[in-house]
Amino acid sequence: MANKYLAVIMSFFIPGLGQAYAGDIKKGIGYFLVAFVALQVIRIFFVDSILNSFYYIIDLLISIYAAYDAYLMTKD
């Protein structure tokens, strides 16, 4: 059984890693790809727009949601 706190920490820093650790590798890859692609699209295509200002906020929200989902996956 996966440690829920370790899964949360792993998924907070690298979205999807906690899900993979908890046993759902496909979901983990999905989270990682969505986070990576979404953040790269913002960085590349919205260089001078207001959306680029929210890059770190969006990154934080994705990390929090991935960590919360990892917690739910490993909840007793």
> For 45-73, what is each residue's pLDDT tens digit?
777 767 667 778 888 999 999 999 999 99
- Residue 65 makes CB contacts below 8 A (sequence gap 6+) with none
Provide the residue ranges of all domains of the chain, joining segments of one domain with +: 4-74
The model's pLDDT over 21-47, given as tens digits with 9 standing for 90+, comes to 998 999 999 999 999 988 888 777 777
Confidence at residue 59, expressed as pLDDT on a 0 to 100 scale: 85
